[in-house]
Amino acid sequence: MRTDRFLKVHGVSHLSVVVDLALGRKPAPLGRQGKWNVAAHVFTRAFEPGCVAFVPKPEVLEPVSRGQGDTRIQVMVNKGDDLLSSRTTACL
């Protein structure tokens, strides 16, 4: 998925630059030849104690993804997860 953002904007994998450098070649200019003008990866961090109180259901998130072409939403927590540790259901 991480290389996906690079591919969407530049039309090539980020690894193409690494391969060119490894082979002693000057990497080709990246001219935004991909399908999209911009791409992003967004996540929220927690630095204070807290618990996940609500997680939207997939059927709620799906229309958002569908409405914003090529969008993927990956929820990485569950209701009750402790935000400051890797423990799950520690707050219920």
Q: Note the pLDDT of residue 58.
A: 92
Give the model confidence (pLDDT) of 43-79 as tens digits. Answer: 877 778 888 899 999 999 999 888 887 888 889 889 9
Question: Which has more confidence, 1 or 91?
Answer: 91
Q: How far apart are CA 25 and CA 43, in angstroms?
A: 35
Judge if 33 and 53 occupy the same domain.
no
Residue range of the domain that includes 10: 1-40
Q: Note the pLDDT of residue 20.
A: 93
Query: How many residues are there in the chain?
Result: 92
Q: How far apart are CA 51 and CA 49, in angstroms?
A: 7
Q: What φ, ψ does residue 9 adopt, rounded to 5°?
A: -90, -45
Judge if 47 and 91 occupy the same domain.
yes
Judge if 46 and 21 occupy the same domain.
no
Judge if 5 and 46 occupy the same domain.
no
Q: How far apart are CA 39 and CA 29, in angstroms?
A: 18
- Domain total in the chain: 2
**SS3 label, residue 51:** strand
Q: How far apart are CA 83 and CA 92, in angstroms?
A: 13
